[in-house]
Amino acid sequence: MPSMPSPSDTWTRRRLLAAIGGVAAVWLTPHGTAHAAEDSLGSLGLPASHWKPLVSAAAYAVLFNEDTERSGTSPLNHEKRAGTYICAACYQPLFSSEKKFDSGTGWPSFWAPLDDAIGTKRDFKLVFPRTEYHCARCGGHQGHVFDDGPAPTGLRYCNNGVALRFIADGEALPPLRG
């Protein structure tokens, strides 16, 4: 005669089924999808299509389709001069070189942005939640922020290099686009 499951076995199966159901729900729900071609997260309120003729195809894919450039491919990883990192689309200043550090990840990393330069949202593309950040002005995707950075913030703003331009100290910042 088959034995009945004990209450503790049933509870374990219920917990397992609930966990599987929760993962399936997250997996099947369209979280963290890229901007639709006419959506905007930035204060300018311009559609993503506005920026397409102004940036390279690789930059557009990152900025407005939330693509990720391959680790270790950005020349900005090795940029050591003093200066300002600006959004490749609208030229909004985003980071100071004083707050850049070598994270060993293969992407330009910073421990703090300039004041009011970025916005954030939750991203579930890899199932677990992450914090995506974007240019506050045009809404262009820049990267993700993690809590494994250096003092004083403990944060690591991991940026796609193709989404940035570097302007060395002594060079004029370009006029904002939009």
Q: Which residues are catalytic?
A: 158
Digitized pLDDT (tens) for each residue of the chain, 178 residues in all = 555 555 544 445 444 434 444 433 333 333 333 443 344 457 888 999 999 999 999 999 999 999 999 999 999 999 999 999 999 999 999 999 999 999 999 999 999 999 999 999 887 766 678 899 999 999 999 999 999 999 999 999 999 999 999 999 999 999 999 8
How far apart are alpha carbons 89 and 71 in whole angstroms?
A: 21
Which residue is it, tokens 């002594």? 170
Residue 83's DSSP bridge partners are 168
Task: Summarize the chain as % helix, strand, coil (round to 5).
Answer: 25, 20, 50
Considering only CA atoms, which of 140, 165, 159, 177 is closest in space to residue 54? 177
Domains of the chain: 48-168 (2.170.150.20)
Considering only CA atoms, which of 136, 141, 144, 134 is closest in space to residue 178? 136
